[in-house]
Amino acid sequence: MLISKQKPLEEILSYLEGDKSVFLVGCKGCAEGWGSGGEKQVAEMKSTLQEGGKAVSGSVVVDMLCNSTLTKLKFRAYKKEIAAADSILVLTDGAGVQTVAEVVDKVVHPGCNTLSSGGAHAEWKEAERCLECGDCMLEFTGGLCPIARCSKHLLNGPCGGSQGGKCEVDSDIPCVWQQIVDRLAKLGQLDKLERIVTPKNWSVSLISGPPVKRLS
């Protein structure tokens, strides 16, 4: 189970700036359990956005959002509502946000941060998709996580070793930064890459560890 907490409303609203209509997505799994994106929270967010002048084209709460097959099936019943929205706001952990980005060709906004559980964490297609960094940056990377999916956890673009869309560390692994660039280009949002991401506080992330002893 992933621990998620809603981002500050001001931050969410900054993501939605310029969007007239939004489609909301929640999860009956982890997000409902932590009170960040279940039925109640999705309904509350809908009311908040509408009071602020945003149109909400629809909403859905999926049983297990990190399951891409289940999410695809659930979304079929909301094709018109999703098509009518300028973007999708996902009130779940990073794994759920990435699932939505995988199955729809829409701008996907993360509405939550994923906090470190200090142990087991979500898996998707036999590969990690969220390393619980505590400050989700999927808003700026097209819904693809460079922390979990880049071998070097790079935050501001690919390294100089990636070639032909493949990772320098393992040529069988696609370079996620190439995928990010391709997706943002498709969505007309390449300008998001102009934002410089400052160093993260890795001590709150799942990948943080004990201090390394230096040899004298």
Q: Which pLDDT tens digit goes with each residue over 135-144?
A: 999 999 999 9
β-strand 112-115 against 3-6: which pairing, if any?
antiparallel
Q: Is the pLDDT of residue 127 over 60?
A: no
Query: pTM (2 decimals)?
Result: 0.89
Among 11-15, 80-84, 90-94, 201-205, the minimum mean pLDDT is found in 201-205
| Residue-level pLDDT at 216 | 35
- The domain locations on the chain are 3-197
Q: How far is CA 105 from CA 69, 86, 117, 181, 187, in A?
A: 16, 11, 31, 14, 8
Mean pLDDT of 75-85: 97
| Residue-level pLDDT at 214 | 37
Q: In the structure encoding, which two tokens stand for residue 62, read together?
A: 């999926």
Query: Which of 121, 93, 89 has the alpha carbon at shortest distance from 34?
Result: 93
Q: Which pLDDT tens digit goes with each residue over 6-57?
A: 999 999 999 999 999 999 999 999 899 999 999 999 999 999 999 999 999 9
Burial 33-63 (b: 16+ CB within 10 A, else e): ebebbbeebbeebbeebeeeebebbbbbbbe
Q: Is the pLDDT of residue 121 over 60?
A: no
Q: In the structure encoding, which two tokens stand for residue 207, read together?
A: 């990948």
pLDDT confidence of 122, banded at 50, 70, 90? low
Backbone angles phi, psi at 205, to 5 degrees: -95, 160
Q: Which pLDDT tens digit goes with each residue over 149-203?
A: 998 989 999 999 988 899 999 989 999 999 999 999 999 999 999 988 888 888 8
CATH number of this structure's domain 3-197: 3.40.50.1860
